[in-house]
Amino acid sequence: MLLWQELKTLLRHLVMITLAIMMVVPFLWMVGTSFKPHSEVERPALLPEQAQPENYAIVLRRAPDPYTQRFLDLDFPKWYFNSLFVAAWVTALQVLTSCMAAYAFSRIEWRWRDKLFFLYLSTMMIPGLVLMLPNYQIMVKLGLVNTYLGLILPAAFSAFGTFLMRQFMLGIPKSYDEAAEIDGANHLQIFLDVILPLARPGMITLTIFTFMGNFQSFFWPLVMVKDDHLRTIPIGLLSFQSQYGQQTELIMAATVMNIVPLIILFVTMQKQLVAGIQLGGVKG
């Protein structure tokens, strides 16, 4: 029996190691390729024989491309700024609106509250691509096509964010609200001074999910953006493929720089993310 238990443990570890290798190898290939010269891109080796870190300077237009002997006609730094700018604003607005809606759905008693919440929650079942056309028509009528506001506004509201924050707020005892009301606090004061500090783990979790999702957003910026100076990184990466053929080393260098903020965010906020997910699954 003991031998069988040890064998099962060994098999479990082998499966986990195999899955980990399958996930890590593509990432290592991407990083390794970003340092390869153009002549080594087609080789299957993970690491370059002769590293060329200038690929990053080429993408950032700090050095000429040795393959074409000229600077790239692509504004990657501007695309990088656009991705960070749009993702930051979407995250801030979505966390704010989700917290406000969650407070109304969890802490305030009003007629048809729960029915309206489930109706709002049912919008999560509608695919995002289906909503893209009506959202685009609204942006056209408001004159927000090809603007930062057009990229930010439709993503500023989230049924998932409202659901997540409502679950956190339901776990906060009602006695806190009653004590604050006895002291003369109104709903705004209770929301800002009592509920939000206690719902901080949920806000951190929602912040991470929202930022990571919007920083990598592709379809909505593809539809909304017409000018090069408004492109985000996922849209800008298409230009490398269309204008510069198979310069895979430059595409990989741009991709590595694209995921750096996400890696930093996940690593620094990993504990808060896990704690937030665990607390969000428990309703008080």
Domain that holds residue 156: 76-280
pLDDT of residue 284: 44
Q: What pTM did the predictor assign?
A: 0.83
pLDDT of residue 178: 86
Tens digit of pLDDT for each residue in 150-159?
999 999 998 9
**Are 270 and 59 spatial neighbours (Cβ–Cβ below 8 Å)?**
no
Tens digit of pLDDT for each residue in 240-268?
765 556 678 888 888 898 888 888 887 88
Q: Are residues 10 and 147 in the same domain?
A: no
Distance CA 229, CA 132 (A): 22
Q: Are residues 37 and 155 in the same domain?
A: no
What is the three-class DSSP state of 65? strand
Split into its structural domains, the chain has a count of 2
115 assigned to some structural domain = yes
Q: Residue 154: give its domain's CATH number.
A: 1.10.3720.10
Q: Are residues 91 and 149 in the same domain?
A: yes
pLDDT of residue 282: 47
**Of 29, 59, 89, which one is at a domain's C-terminal end?**
59
Q: Are residues 14 and 55 in the same domain?
A: yes
What is the three-class DSSP state of 110? coil
Tens digit of pLDDT for each residue in 191-224?
998 899 888 888 988 998 899 889 988 889 999 9
pLDDT above 90 (res 149): yes
For 11, 40, 117, the CA distances from 105, given in Å and listed in that order, are 47, 58, 7
pLDDT of residue 241: 65
Distance CA 103, CA 157 (A): 15
pLDDT of residue 251: 86
Residue bearing the bigger pLDDT, 91 or 109: 91
pLDDT above 50 (res 277): yes
97 assigned to some structural domain = yes
64 assigned to some structural domain = no
What is the three-class DSSP state of 251? helix
201 assigned to some structural domain = yes
Q: Are residues 34 and 140 in the same domain?
A: no
Of the listed ranges 64-73, 130-139, 152-161, the one predicted with least confidence: 64-73
pLDDT of residue 244: 57
Tokens of 33: 């390729």
Tens digit of pLDDT for each residue in 73-98?
788 889 999 999 999 999 999 999 99
Tens digit of pLDDT for each residue in 15-60?
999 998 888 888 888 888 888 888 888 777 788 888 888 888 888 8
129 assigned to some structural domain = yes
Of the listed ranges 222-226, 236-240, 280-284, the one predicted with least confidence: 280-284
pLDDT above 90 (res 167): no
